[in-house]
Structure 1
Amino acid sequence: MTYISDTSAQDTQIEKKRNYKLYIAIAVGIVIFFTLIVPQLSIWMSGKSAVRLENIRIAEVQKGQFIRDISVQGRVVAAKRPTLYSPAQGTVTYLVTPGDTVSLGEPLASIDSPELTSLLAQEKSELTRLKTQLEREKIQVKKQDLEQENYIGKAQVALNAAKREMRRNEEGHKNQVVSDIDFQKAKDDLENAQREYRLAVKEVALLKESQKFEIKTRALELEAQQVIVSELQRQVASLSIVSPVSGIVGNLAVEQKNSVTKNQPLLSVVDLSQYEVEVNIPENYADDLALGMSAELMLNGNTYKGELIAISPEIVGGQVEGKIRFKEKNIKGLRQNQRLTSRVVLEEKNDVYYLPRGQFTESGGGRFVYVVEDDVAVKKSIKLGSKSLGQVEVISGLAMGEKVVISDLDVFKEAGSVRIVQ
């Protein structure tokens, strides 16, 4: 019997490949089922809505110091940056250039004013004339004093002679040697001499008073002229313009050797020893501002203390302009017109309950919050007080240590209680 050989000896067994993708898909489905479906089923069975923990922010109520503040942008300016003006009409000559470092009292520019120097020379000449006139008047008074002394002397001599003649006539009249007519004549001569003497004394006194008045008038004229000359000398001296502070020269307002008018700006000097920060504060904080309020200024990662030293009395563009001065001097890294962030402290309270600031103050209107306990957020009425950059004062409704949702409360849809799921 003949057998026909088969091809089994040539066959090879093919190994069956496992479907790993299917296993992975099943595993992912189980994970999704237990992480998403099962919690939702549990919530559905309990009848409560739920919010995922990753979608909210939770913070604890704390008690301590509460600082109400605002943050504003400011611009650095020098505390002293005087602008120098021309004291008179003339031609300007600059002795410095922009950016030069100058010290207090150093000459910066000069004004050539022929009109002012000529006026000073004229007034000096008038002053000399008045001095000469006053001295001449004094000499004239001395001369008149001699004449007045002689005049009174003559009157005195005449009076003495009349008295002697009267005594002689009295003796003769008693002895009946002198007639009655001669006696009466001697008596009249004595009265006349007495009258002339009294008149001479009064006349000399009046003349002396007149002399004093003339001297005083000349002296006042001289004094007035001296004031004019002194003022002109001051103006001429001010033609040499010196630096009122130590610092650097700013921009020059006119070109070299140009003609300038009186009170025309010439140049500015910036004092770099002390800076201020000009800030614009929203008008809704205007009533809370007061001079002397403390402030903090951030520069290159460092915080510097400051003080609010000026507040504008008017509101422009919905903002109030103020100035903050650095308490420290010679701060490195400051530049003119540099932008800085500043923090102004409006109010400080101690032993106050507070929460970190969050969107709950807007979405909840500050009337309610959600307190988290055992993975359940419960709606609770509260009353908030002052707000700062990073804190919100809690007046009532919460206790220290309670956990509160401080993020947007719209996700809770004003439900009474909501479960928090991982």
Structure 2
Amino acid sequence: MIRDTSAQDRPLSDAPGFFSGRRRRLVPVLIGLALLAVGAVALPSVQRMMRSGTSVSLQRLGIATVELGPLVRDVAGEGKVVAAMSPTVYALHGGNLVLKVKAGDKVAKNQLLGEIDSPDLRAKLAQEQSNADALRTELLRAEVDGREQRSALKSNWESAAIDLQTARNDLERQTKAFEAGAVAGMQVEKARDALEKARITLAHAQAGVGLKDDSLKFELQAKQQALQRQQLLVQDLRRQLDELQLRSPVNGQVGQLLVAERANVAAGTGLLTVVDLTALEVQMQVAESFARDLAIGMPGEIGGNGQHWRGLVSSVSPEVVNGEVAARLRFEGTVPDQLRQNQRLSVRVLLDQRDKVLTVSRGSFVEEGGGRFAYVLQDGQAIKRPIRIGAQSLSKVEVLEGLKAGEQVVVSGAQAFDGAAQVTVSQ
């Protein structure tokens, strides 16, 4: 009868086996070596995780590759068709407005658009014309009076000349008679005095004719100048009456009527606009950051109605309104016929084009960081690296320093990095 298991318990022999002898002592060593190998492989990842302190999913980020190629800087947007010439017709004088056209009517240059009725101006013209006629009559009367006075003076001059000749003949007779002893010497002296008197009278008559001619000349000149001044006043009033007729300054179309029909308008009031449809341009709004690069003469492209036309920048507004600048493009060549005022078109202006430069897609690192740094993907890490950018377009920026072709850059979602120098990016 078996009382216990003591007869069954006996030590095992040192028979060969896997966990026997020296092999059993090697198991801890092998386990340790395996742990060291696993730690060596995982150590860099662990170290990166410990250094970064955070992890961001790759799906939350926008990634772009640095490329070597052309960079085209342009400004694109929407523009509207405007008239390069859209003059406003003003009232140069006050009065009642009478229009001959309606908004939308096509008009030719110098066509009558309307007129302003001004009774006061017409009455003033009639008065000044009457004054001019009176001055003309006075001038004619002065010419007649001058001729009469000169005729009388000339008659006196001729009479004095006859008297001089008579006195000269009388002196000759008296001298011959005195030499013959027929008359006394006193008669000769008396005849000589009469000759001298006649000579003086003739000289005065001749001088009187010259003086009267000068006097009449100045008097007639003064009356002629007064008449000319009055005629100029009449001409100016007639010009003002002609200005009451409103004529189209260009070939085009009546735009907007600024006042009502039969309204009493004051001088300087805008009445209507005329749109020149032969000189259309496209106006676009450009952001202030790009406006400084715009210049007159830059090439552009205008598109609409399934067509494209070449254009040139014709003007850039010097004023910034709400962070934008107005720029206009004129069509290079003939203006398309199918365009209409205020029609919307797509516009693109070429600012600059560079070949074989490092470029990367434009992203938040340009606006938020000012282009001073960017996060570069390297071995599952987003590493903050200082960079320097150059020219910028709407979609790309030029990289001057800090990046190489083929590197991947975080262009969006970097806000999650919170400015860290290095962040783990998980798949």
2:64: which partner in 1? 58
Is there any run of 5+ residues in structure 1 with no aligned partner, and where?
1-39
**Alignment match, 2:391:** 386
- Normalised to the residue count of structure 2, the TM-score between the two structures is 0.70
> Once the 2 structures are TM-superposed, how far is the Cα of residue 180 of structure 1 from its aligned partner?
6.0
TM-fit CA distance, 1:301? 5.8
Report whether the alignment pairs 1:405 with 2:406: no
- Cα-to-partner distance string for 1:267-306 (whole Å, 9 max, x where unaligned): 3322222223445555556655544444444545655444
- 2:109 is matched by which residue type in structure 1? L
Q: Which amino acid aligns with 1:224?
A: R
Q: 1:186-235 deviations in whole A, cap 9, x for unaligned?
A: 55444433333333232222211222222222322332232233233333
| Structure 2 residue 157 is matched with structure 1 residue 152 | yes
Give the secondary structure class of the aligned counterpart of 1:80. Answer: coil
Taking a change above 3 Å as real, the CA distance of residues 272 and 177 of structure 1, as seen in their structure-2 partners, is same
Q: Which shows bigger deviation, 81-90 or 178-187?
A: 178-187
Q: Distance in 1 between matches of 2:194 and 2:358?
A: 116
| Residue range with higher mean Cα deviation, 204-213 or 246-255 | 246-255
Residues 98 and 180 of structure 1, relative CA distance in 2, 3 Å threshold: same
Give distance in 1, aligned partners of 2:140 and 2:182: 60
1:276 corresponds to 2:281: yes
RMSD: 4.2
Contact 1:86 1:262 in 2 (8 A): yes
**Structure 1 residues 291 and 175: alpha-carbon distance in aligned structure 2, compared to 1, 3 A threshold:** farther
Q: Could you tell me whether the CA contact under 8 Å between 1:357 and 1:406 is conserved in 2?
A: no
Secondary structure at the residue paired with 1:365?
coil
* Distance of 1:396 and 1:75 partners within structure 2: 40
Aligned-residue offset at 1:389: 2.1
Tell me by how many angstroms 1:390 deviates.
Answer: 2.8
Counterpart among 338, 345, 357 of residue 353 in structure 1: 357
Q: Which amino acid aligns with 1:237?
A: D
| Pair 1:118-2:129 in alignment | no
Which piece of structure 1 moves more, 353-362 or 364-373? 364-373
Contact 2:85 2:275 in 1 (8 A): yes
Q: Which residue of 2 aligns with 1:249?
A: 254
Superposition pairs of residues 42-191 of structure 1, within 5 angstroms: 44=45, 47=48, 55-64=61-70, 66-67=72-73, 69-71=74-76, 74-165=79-170, 184-191=189-196
Contact 2:255 2:274 in 1 (8 A): yes
Greater Cα shift, 320-329 or 97-106 = 320-329
* Cα separation, 2, equivalents of 1:168 and 1:393: 127
In structure 2, what is the Cα distance between the partners aligned to 1:295 and 1:166? 109
SS of the counterpart of 1:159?
helix
Specify the code of the residue in structure 2 equivalent to 1:336: Q
Residue identity opposite 2:62 in structure 1: I
CA distance in 1, matches of 2:64, 2:316: 39
1:306-321 superposed matches below 5 A = 306-321=311-326
* Preserved CA contact (<8 Å) 2:376 2:410: no
More deviation, 315-324/110-119: 315-324
Partner of 1:200: 205
Report SS of the residue matched to 2:389.
Answer: strand
The partner residue of 1:234 within 239, 248, 251 is 239
Q: Which amino acid aligns with 1:264?
A: T
Query: For 1:57, what is the secondary structure of its paired residue?
Result: strand
SS of aligned partner of 1:245: coil
- Deviation, 1:323, is 4.1
> Deviation at 1:257?
3.6
Contact 2:48–2:424, Cα closer than 8 Å, also in 1: no
Deviation at 1:377, TM superposition (A): 7.0
| Contact 2:69-2:356 within 8 A present in 1 as well | yes
Contact 1:66 1:393 in 2 (8 A): no
Going from structure 1 to structure 2, the CA distance change for 1:61 and 1:174 (only over 3 Å counts) comes to farther
Counterparts in 2 of 1:376 and 1:263: CA distance versus 1, 3 Å: closer
Distance 1:339 1:377 in 2: 44
1:77/1:105 Cα in 2 relative to 1: closer, same or farther (>3 Å)? same
SS in 2 for 1:197: helix
CA, structure 1 residues 369+87, in 2 after alignment: closer, same or farther (shift >3 Å)? Answer: closer
Task: Give per-residue Cα distances to partners, 1:36-76, cap 9 Å, x unaligned.
Answer: xxxx9697268477877663322333354653x44566554
3-state SS in 2 of match to 1:123: helix
Q: Which protein is bigger by CA-based radius of gyration?
A: 2
Q: Residue type matched to 1:57 in 2?
A: I
Question: Within 2, Cα distance between the matches of 1:348 and 1:364?
Answer: 24
166-175 vs 377-386, greater mean Cα deviation: 166-175
- CA contact under 8 A between 1:354 and 1:391: conserved in structure 2? no
Shift in Å at residue 248 of structure 1?
2.7
Q: Distance in 2 between matches of 1:285 and 1:174?
A: 122
| 2:370 partner SS | coil
TM-score by length of 1: 0.70
User: Per-residue deviation at 1:350?
Assistant: 4.4
Corresponding residue SS for 2:352: strand
Residues 44/161 of structure 1: CA separation in 2 closer, same or farther (3 Å cut): same
Q: Offset of 1:266 from its aligned partner?
A: 3.1
